[in-house]
Amino acid sequence: MQINRFRNDRYFLVKIAATLFFLLAVATWGYAGESAEENVVASGDGFVMTRKTVDAYNAYFISQKLRWSPNEVTKTALKYELLSREYRKTQEGKAGIEDRVGDADKVELKIMDGKKYIQGILDNWMVSSAAIEAYYRSNPEKFSTGKTPDGKIITNPLDDRQRNEIRFKIIEGKKEVIVKEFVDSLITNYHIVMNNGG
């Protein structure tokens, strides 16, 4: 009798263990599916940004004494994820890129790469001659060589140095708009969709 009771108890314990294991597996599987989906903040064609990535940016910003809203952190993370991706495309096959591959997840490196890419865009941004001349005519005091006795400002003809200086000032004044438009075009090109958490 004692042996049968032991077999029955063991059978009962095995059934309970199997049932618990099954329930735990189902619960974990369901949770993992929801968790993975909830952790995706933004996704698009060949692009996924997770909550972990956004948290890494937030930790970096906090280390730099920057306190931003979660929405600002997410937008900034998306911006630099996309810009650094574009920058790295331009660097493929160039010397030195191989030693940086292991650093791909470092936020600071992605921000630096994004800024380099932005600078490349701004360096190549076209400003029309008409815009440069309009700026020159509307700001004569910035280019004056003196005044006439009756108070009129004397300016020399526009030279290449002044053209470059004006071009730089125009681009600096429009930098935020240029970058925003470019990032918006990347979001469109990659068909980025923000998750509810983003």
Q: Decide: 40 and 49 in contact? Cβ < 8 Å.
A: yes
The arrangement of secondary structure in 41-194, i.e. its CATH architecture, is: Orthogonal Bundle (1.10)
Q: Which of 47, 66, 48 is nearest to 58 (CA)?
A: 66
Q: Which two tokens stand for residue 182?
A: 């470019």
Q: What is the pTM (predicted TM-score) of this model?
A: 0.68
Which has the higher per-residue pLDDT, 136 or 11?
136
> Domain coordinates of the chain in residue numbers?
41-194
State the pLDDT at residue 157: 81
State the pLDDT at residue 155: 76
Q: Decide: 40 and 50 in contact? Cβ < 8 Å.
A: yes
To which residue do tokens 């077999």 refer? 7
Question: What are the tens digits of pLDDT across the range 65-100?
Answer: 998 999 999 999 999 999 999 998 988 766 555 455
State the pLDDT at residue 183: 96
Which has the higher per-residue pLDDT, 197 or 38?
38
Which has the higher per-residue pLDDT, 112 or 147?
112
